[in-house]
Amino acid sequence: MRVPERTAAVLAWARRNLFSSPLNALLTLLGLWLLWLVVPPLLQWLWLQADFVGSSREDCRGDGACWVFVRVHLDQFLYGFYPPAERWRVNLGIALLLVPALPLLIPPLRRFRRVWLLALLAYPPVAWWLFHGGLGLSVVDTGLWGGLFLTLVIAATGMAAALPLGLLLALGRRSRLPVVRATATVFIEFWRGVPLITVLFMASVMLPLFLPSGLSLDKLLRALIGVALFAGAYMAEVIRGGLQGVPAGQYEAAQALGLSYWQQMRLVIVPQALRMVVPGIVNVFIALFKETSLVLIIGLFDLLGVVQAAVTNPDWLGFVLEGYVFAAAVFWAFCYGMSRISRRLERRPDMKAQEQQEMA
């Protein structure tokens, strides 16, 4: 008789793990009670009593969430005020990001290093051309960019700039040359000491005062520069931690082989340092991704900004919860995705080599 056996096994497991002592039993019951309090109403609201179809607020009849609100505004949430006829450019631009990412996903492609590097370097100008226009494409002013698209642009630019900038700053801070060291230190401490909000305010309000009249920098561009420098300073400290974690013997072995300073860094030290601080780097990336929503205060509408604008739309008052839950879900999905990628990177065999050697 199979079934009773299995039941018995489940009971035994529960007894061992959930009811091993009176206190454990009490905690288990308390936990179950809390779940019973929270989960059913949540499900009711999110799904069972929610409305999914329709095109106006009249279709919101149930007691649960009205996802019609999100559905109606979805394009706006994704693209902001980007002209609908040009949105294919955004889609294409984001899809193109897969090209430089291919070698990361398919390891055998890593051999074609030059092609990959070229794709990586070519991506930003190509993306800028697609998104902004010019040269045959109609120009879409950056003021119209918004929603998840803008969030991705700011976050991706910040990340792409933070890594090399942080690396240079970290190396600078460990340099033997006093001037280089002092410059890097002052830069890092300045940007780390200032809140991002202040950086964005300065970028949008103060910077134009210092620029010669007639020369005006795009508002988005100013924000991007601010975010990049800010993230770069944080990244520098994370990477410096990694550089300090590389054993002195590695520096000596690299020197003894006759490698020059930059060869030592590029081939031996930095690859190890970066591998060591993958979790820290991803942490900065995740923080940066979420902090992009601060650009709202200088009048740029990222995902959260667009959602906020939609919930105050007089035709759709009363759907605050739906809007924020949606925004939170999107942010969470991206951040969780990054943390998964980080975990996968850490598990790669050449990434783990260091630990094994220490154990040996």
Partner 1 sequence: MTEQTTAVRFEHVDKWFGQLHVLQDINLEVARGERIVICGPSGSGKSTLIRCCNGLEPYQRGRIVVNGIELTENRRTVEQVRRQVGMVFQQFNLFPHLTVLENCTLAPIWVRKMPRAEAEELAMEYLRRVRIPDKAHSYPGQLSGGQQQRVAIARALCMQPRIMLFDEPTSALDPEMISEVLDAMVELAESGMTMLCVTHEMGFAREVADRIVFMDGGRIVEQSPTAQFFAAPQTERARQFLGQILAR
Whether the CB-CB separation of 239 and 277 falls below 8 Å is answered with yes
Within 267-286, the residues that bind partner 1 by CB under 8 A are: 267-268, 271-272, 275
List helix spans (H) across the chain: 2-17, 22-43, 68-79, 87-96, 98-105, 113-132, 147-173, 178-193, 196-201, 207-210, 219-245, 248-256, 261-263, 270-276, 278-291, 303-311, 320-347, 349-359
Which x/- pattern over 220-249 shows residues binding partner 1 (rule: CB under 8 A)? Answer: ---------------------------x-x
When asked if residue 340 is in the footprint of partner 1 (CB under 8 A), the reply is no
28/175 with CB nearer partner 1? 175
Whether the CB-CB separation of 181 and 173 falls below 8 Å is answered with yes
- Please, what's the b/e burial string for 114-152 (b: 16 or more CB within 10 A of its CB; e: otherwise)? eebeebeeebeeebeebbbeeeeeeebebeebbbbbbbb
Stretch that binds partner 1, among 56-64, 119-127, 299-307, 351-359 (CB under 8 A): 351-359
When asked if residue 312 is in the footprint of partner 1 (CB under 8 A), the reply is no
d(CA 20, CA 14): 8
When asked if residue 355 is in the footprint of partner 1 (CB under 8 A), the reply is yes
When asked if residue 253 is in the footprint of partner 1 (CB under 8 A), the reply is yes
When asked if residue 356 is in the footprint of partner 1 (CB under 8 A), the reply is yes
Q: Which of 23, 85, 215, 360 binds partner 1 (CB under 8 A)?
A: 360
Question: Nearest to residue 296, comparing CAs of 80, 39, 22, 36?
Answer: 80
Beta carbon of residue 268, minimum distance to partner 1 (angstroms, whole number): 6
In this structure, the chain runs to a length of: 360
Q: Which of 258, 314, 315, 347 binds partner 1 (CB under 8 A)?
A: 258
215/256 with CB nearer partner 1? 256
Beta carbon of residue 49, minimum distance to partner 1 (angstroms, whole number): 54
Residue 242 in tokens: 């990694």
18/351 with CB nearer partner 1? 351
Beta carbon of residue 111, minimum distance to partner 1 (angstroms, whole number): 11
Residue 66, strand partner residues: 51
| Amino acid identity for residue 119 in this structure | A
Beta carbon of residue 275, minimum distance to partner 1 (angstroms, whole number): 6
Beta carbon of residue 353, minimum distance to partner 1 (angstroms, whole number): 4
144/351 with CB nearer partner 1? 351
| Amino acid identity for residue 51 in this structure | D
- The C-alpha angle 144, 145, 146, rounded to 5 degrees, equals 115
Beta carbon of residue 351, minimum distance to partner 1 (angstroms, whole number): 8
Whether the CB-CB separation of 306 and 78 falls below 8 Å is answered with no
Beta carbon of residue 350, minimum distance to partner 1 (angstroms, whole number): 6
Q: Which of 24, 56, 244, 263 binds partner 1 (CB under 8 A)?
A: 263
- Footprint of partner 1 (CB under 8 A): 247, 249-250, 252-260, 263, 267-268, 271-272, 275, 349-357, 359-360
